[in-house]
Structure 1
């Protein structure tokens, strides 16, 4: 708009209707620029307005008139005031954004806190990447807790974005953190998460009473007991991968189940947890579809099994960091969806990682 006004003034002053008084229009250009264009845009608009004013005054041979000098003084004063206002608004906006980011970081530490490095028979690490620039939390969720039944973990993905997705994630995580300590069966832990989501969906937003938590949540609950197995209950979530002896394989469920929130599609009571081999030295990766569905410029998915097999790391955090770097290279640092990863490395009875002791150099995961 400021630059359009400047062009309009040029058109009037260089036309037969140049007798029209265009000074107030030029004076308004830096003020309008201060509202939308920031300090640099305000300066540009002011310089353009000054150039137009000098050019038209020269063309119309108006130098020496009191009106020309009055316009220049008014333009100068408005330009300075607009620049100072724009800079103040920019500083205030930046401070508010930094405050919002600090609040988001604090919320993330409560909702998606890092998992402990050691949980019973496993070493663990977690990683969360928000697709939106400047975002800290979203609809992905994860947790790992040591209980009397073994190490219990969850990873999930809420369909949707914004505060409703965060509310759904918080409801599922809260139910999981409570139920893992007293429910014997892993499927009952998942049922508690489904019930919590249903209750949350029935409660309207405190600010906007028309806003409800909608959609569904894909979720995977895993349990690592004392034996060399891992038990899983999968509700519509991408299957986890186990890296064993250098080969990665997906732990596919024998019977697909619908996500949380779509219980109407269940044909009967959910079956119990399914068991898979998980020997000392094996790596279990729980992840969201933001990893496997990440695409490159050729529209190719991220090859997660091959990426896991190519990792050379000594610790679970280093393992996830190398996967992260591979994901960034594959997508050219343009994630289309949030990413959550949870890694667990099975230790032997002495609390060490056999794979790390058998592989020289920087290769392998050290559990000791």
Structure 2
């Protein structure tokens, strides 16, 4: 245990002082014991070691015949002052640690509410997701994703709120809530996207106060629909990085012919939400991601080559693919991202695959 370090130090200094000539006093070195204790222990244990140190100094003072002298008084005062200072620092450190634990708990709870865990299986799809917040100790940021089951199949959204701090989290929560509500109304994909645009634009205008400020905040998003009975994907891309499909070891980027503007800017551009359709057959894996992935840089400033890295794990299932990408992305940036990043891997299963899927 770490407590043996200051106790051992007190013992060593005491023995050395006894063995040293009477003209040599090593007891002033005992002040190191409470200092070391405060580096790993709380204020109570630090004070206890400080008291033990003071008692030991008195005993050594008796042995060295300096009891009642100014020298011994100064040694005891020095231990008292140092102990009080480091014990106070330990108290503040413990309070900050408790506050940090509470922040983590709140952050985790907020993540569960805002970014509900995606089901592992929804219809003929197997889903896996990963979220990496750039802010240290945070669990959520401005990136978002969600899935909704509808009569015709499955709808998904992935997006990135371009606001900062709490505003971006608020915008992400607003968009996800609007997506879940609008999806239940079974409106068309363009109608769903238009509804999301209206919700985001209205909220941004209310929160920022002016149209000019609202222009500085917007949400890039890709809204998708995957029918159960057709091997296709319908996509409306609102200024978001294009999805990728992994098929037979090849990576295909699903570029939109006419992308719509980001959500929140529709009032300026009067967008038309054109639906792009792409092939999505059994065995294919669809990867949705935010720009925090493709804009991640290594120490040399090189962007993360997502399409190239995906091909390395062409034979993996969606969950394993994301595990590899997660580890590889963090290795690329040296362990810390400069922006939030989110990824979803969706694998279309054979129609006869049981609900639990293959092992």
Q: What TM-score does the superposition give when structure 1 sets the normalisation length?
A: 0.73
- What's the secondary structure of 1:180's corresponding residue? helix
Q: Which residue of 2 is the match for residue 296 of structure 1?
A: 298
Q: Which residue among 105, 119, 124 is the counterpart of 1:121? A: 124
- What's the secondary structure of 1:342's corresponding residue? strand
Give the C-alpha shift of residue 71 in structure 1.
5.5
Q: Which residue of 2 is the match for residue 94 of structure 1?
A: 97
Contact 1:201 1:214 in 2 (8 A): no
Task: Note the alpha carbon deviations across 1:182-241, whole angstroms, 9 max, x for none.
Answer: 133112212222222223224449xxxxx9996111000111012010000110000000
Matches within 5 A, 1:346-361: 346-351=348-353
How far apart, in 2, do the equivalents of 1:120 and 1:105 lie?
Answer: 28
Unaligned runs of 5+ in 2: 1-30, 47-65
Give the C-alpha shift of residue 81 in structure 1.
1.5
Q: Which residue of 1 is the match for residue 189 of structure 2?
A: 186
Give the C-alpha shift of residue 343 in structure 1.
1.1
- What's the secondary structure of 2:184's corresponding residue? coil
Task: Note the alpha carbon deviations across 1:54-96, whole angstroms, 9 max, x for none.
Answer: xxxxxxxxx9x98877665544322221222111111111011
How far apart, in 2, do the equivalents of 1:101 and 1:212 lie?
Answer: 30
Matched, 1:141 2:144: yes
Q: Which residue among 293, 298, 308 is the counterpart of 2:310? A: 308
Cα RMSD after superposing both structures:
3.0
How far apart, in 2, do the equivalents of 1:185 and 1:191 lie?
Answer: 10
Give the C-alpha shift of residue 269 in structure 1.
4.2
Aligned residue pairs, count: 296
Unaligned runs of 5+ in 1: 1-29, 44-62, 206-210, 354-365
How far apart, in 2, do the equivalents of 1:68 and 1:141 lie?
Answer: 66
How far apart, in 1, do the equivalents of 2:236 and 2:70 lie?
Answer: 81
Give the C-alpha shift of residue 274 in structure 1.
1.2
Q: Which residue among 232, 235, 241 is the counterpart of 1:232? A: 235
Matches within 5 A, 1:182-331: 182-204=185-207, 215-225=217-227, 226-266=229-269, 268-311=270-313, 314-331=316-333
How far apart, in 1, do the equivalents of 2:170 and 2:92 lie?
Answer: 32
How far apart, in 1, do the equivalents of 2:281 and 2:314 lie?
Answer: 19
Give the C-alpha shift of residue 326 in structure 1.
1.5
Task: Note the alpha carbon deviations across 1:267-299, whole angstroms, 9 max, x for none.
Answer: x44133111111111110110001111112232
How far apart, in 2, do the equivalents of 1:133 and 1:213 lie?
Answer: 28
Give the C-alpha shift of residue 305 in structure 1.
1.2
How far apart, in 2, do the equivalents of 1:263 and 1:314 lie?
Answer: 39
How far apart, in 2, do the equivalents of 1:274 and 1:122 lie?
Answer: 20
How far apart, in 1, do the equivalents of 2:335 and 2:137 lie?
Answer: 14
- What's the secondary structure of 1:187's corresponding residue? helix
Q: What TM-score does the superposition give when structure 2 sets the normalisation length?
A: 0.75
Matched, 1:173 2:176: yes
Give the C-alpha shift of residue 138 in structure 1.
0.3
Contact 1:123 1:367 in 2 (8 A): no
Contact 1:130 1:338 in 2 (8 A): yes
Contact 1:168 1:213 in 2 (8 A): no
How far apart, in 1, do the equivalents of 2:198 and 2:330 lie?
Answer: 36
Give the C-alpha shift of residue 102 in structure 1.
0.7
